[in-house]
Amino acid sequence: MGPTQKPNVCRQLSRRALGFFSRDAGVVQRTNLGILRALVCQESTKFKNVWTTHSKSPIAYERGRIYFDNYRCCVSSIASEPRKLYEMPKCSKSEKIEDALLWECPVGEILPNPSDYKSSLIALTAHNWLFRISATTGKVLEKIYLASYCKFRYLSWDTPQEVIAVKSAQNKGTVLARQAGIQQPVLLYLAVFHVLPFSLIGILEINKKIFGNVTDATLSHGILIVMYSSGLVRLYSFQAITEQAKNGIQEMECCSLESDWIYFHPDASGRIIHVGPNQVKVLKLNEVENDSAQHQISEDFVILANREKNKNENLPTVTASGRVVKKNFNLLDDDPEQETFKIVDYEDELDLLSVVAVTQIDAEGKAHLDFHCNEYGTLLKSIPLVESWDVTYSHEVYFDRDLVLHIEQKPSRVFSCYVYQMVCDPGEEETTNRSCEKE
């Protein structure tokens, strides 16, 4: 497939103004996002650091809103300077919000209350309550108590905007139990809820006797994903995978200190994203040829880190006596002096995969955010981050339309937030065509 003609933004805007797209619902929005994608990916477009802030409490981001003080204070990130939207009353440490998800109302359903049609924040508190909070006012709309026998700490979507999974902290047992050699059979719990109204579907135990030495587990699109320290990832489904599954266990061929991670692609295509230190695999679930009852996992495309092979690797050494000695010297795949993938995310409106790659030389680390075609994996644009990146710190990076946001946790619980906004350079006209083509 050869390069395709880049759309002319001026012509697209003129056609929109004349009403060429008005007869087909959704065409105008798709056209607008296509124009924005073309602007984001062109070479003359830059992303400028417009403001930076620091906090002593965690900072979170959800769809144009930045949350401070454990989600108590909400600030808009759309403006060139931060603008406070609301601030909730102060609460005790046991009532603080530990994790949250943004919920937006379903289309075409009749809901019981007018407030249900507006966006809400699904929030998990430190004392095991699940809240639904208005995203515009901070008012609590609904709440439910989870359990007292474990500590729930994390939220994720099982079915986006419909079903949530609430995960507990891992049960490592008490100090006395560990000293006595008593094994804890239940490693963690997963509670599954419908969102509106809150209704419990079930609570799943991740039991050591059944699953073995599990390092982590999550639920996505009705499939339980279980991870092990050996680099193995197992996919369980009560019907399709367990009973019918092929290639249901995926192994990343890498040698690294940190384990790889796997999850279902957020674009609802049924594909799977498997991330290692030097490669990102996008996998797809297909029916086995001549047997529609069975499925297999195959490779869709792979994104590789930009690395040079170490020239000194495995070179022979000659001793003073003339004896030749071969050295077996292999670097770890997540060696910080090589480009390493740290974060992979998906921008649903622009249909782009965003990948954060980091290289740390001496004490200074530099990171860049790459935009890849979601269909073929082609690299479309790379954005350098101005601030240094220390691989020993915790980092989050979000790409949302024309916004890039980097949240960093430093020692002594110091959190920093760096906001970048898109800036088009009118003095330079792009001459090269970059299309979403398969290489």
What mean pLDDT is predicted for residues 405-432?
Answer: 79
What are the φ and ψ backbone dihedral angles of 215, each rounded to 5 degrees? -95, -30
More confident residue, 425 or 75: 75
Q: 57-61, 156-160, 256-260, 403-407: which has the minimum mean pLDDT?
A: 256-260
Residue type, 17: A
Q: How far apart are CA 260 and CA 28, in angstroms?
A: 40
The tokens describing 240, both together, are: 């399709």
Closest CA to 74 of 85, 88, 61: 85
Q: What is the residue whose two structure tokens read 């012509």?
A: 11
Contact by Cβ (8 Å): 391, 35: no
Total residues belonging to the chain: 439
Quickly state the pLDDT bin for 242 (edges 50, 70, 90): very low
The tokens describing 407, both together, are: 């949240």
Q: How far apart are CA 104 and CA 65, in angstroms?
A: 14
Task: Identify the helix (H) or strand (E) that includes residue 73.
Answer: strand 73-76
Contact by Cβ (8 Å): 341, 277: yes
Residue type, 235: L
DSSP letters of 272-290? EEEE-SSEEEEEEEEEETT
pLDDT (tens digit per residue) in 204-220:
888 888 888 888 888 88
Helical residues (DSSP H) of 213-353, grouped into ranges: 240-244
pLDDT computed for residue 301 by the predictor: 94
Burial 106-139 (b: 16+ CB within 10 A, else e): eeeeeeeeebbeeebbbbbbbbbbbbbbebeebe
Q: Where are the domains of the chain?
A: 1-56+337-439, 248-335
Cis peptide before 336 (omega within 30 of 0): no
Closest CA to 86 of 70, 100, 75: 75
pLDDT (tens digit per residue) in 37-69:
999 999 889 999 988 999 998 899 988 899 999
Say yes or no to pLDDT of 337 above 90: no
Quickly state the pLDDT bin for 251 (edges 50, 70, 90): low
Helical residues (DSSP H) of 7-82, grouped into ranges: 9-17, 27-41
